[in-house]
Amino acid sequence: MTHLTSRAYYKARILLVPLGPSGAALVSSMFDAGLREVLIAAPASHPDGVFVRAIDEPETHFATETISDLAASTDMMVFLGSRLEEIPDDFVENMATAGRNQGTLLAGVFVGLGGWSSEPGSTSMRVLRRELDMLVTVRKTDLARDFIEVLKGGTREAIPGKLFQHPITGA
């Protein structure tokens, strides 16, 4: 029996953008749970700059890039958090504009979303709905991590060409 592979193997270049302290805590939890091969972005002091590091690098080991250069080297930006009132709206708008200009898919993943009733929270939700292509809310961090793994194209242990195989007969 042979197998027909339904899609080619591909690793998307994912940029996680933690939004506030809750986003940073989620990134840390996801790293502890095994998330690898993604970059992390944080606002720099200059409005057109961003600090970038691999998820497995210490927070003190970062490079500084322009937002547009970073967007050009990214397939998908995933904005990550859980508290709406912590979101830096200007940074989200700048990152989303640069991503949109490059054709980057823009997603928001929120775990246990809170802060709806505050004025900053409701303003941030309007910004997210306007700027992002998709917005996903889940109840647990492991679901968010698994979602990002799927977007990325699988874990490091995935075998190229072995995803979504279906047996075919007569070959």
The alpha carbon of residue 10 and the mean position of all alpha carbons in its chain are separated, in whole angstroms, by 16
Q: Domain segments of the chain: what residues?
A: 9-154
- Which CATH superfamily, name and number, covers 9-154? Tubulin/FtsZ, GTPase domain (3.40.50.1440)
Radius of gyration of the chain (CA): 17
In 3D space, the residue among 24, 67, 60, 16 whose CA is nearest the CA of residue 46 turns out to be: 67
pTM: 0.84
Over the stretch 38-88, which tens digit does the pLDDT of each residue have?
A: 999 999 988 889 999 999 998 888 999 999 999 999 999 999 999 999 999
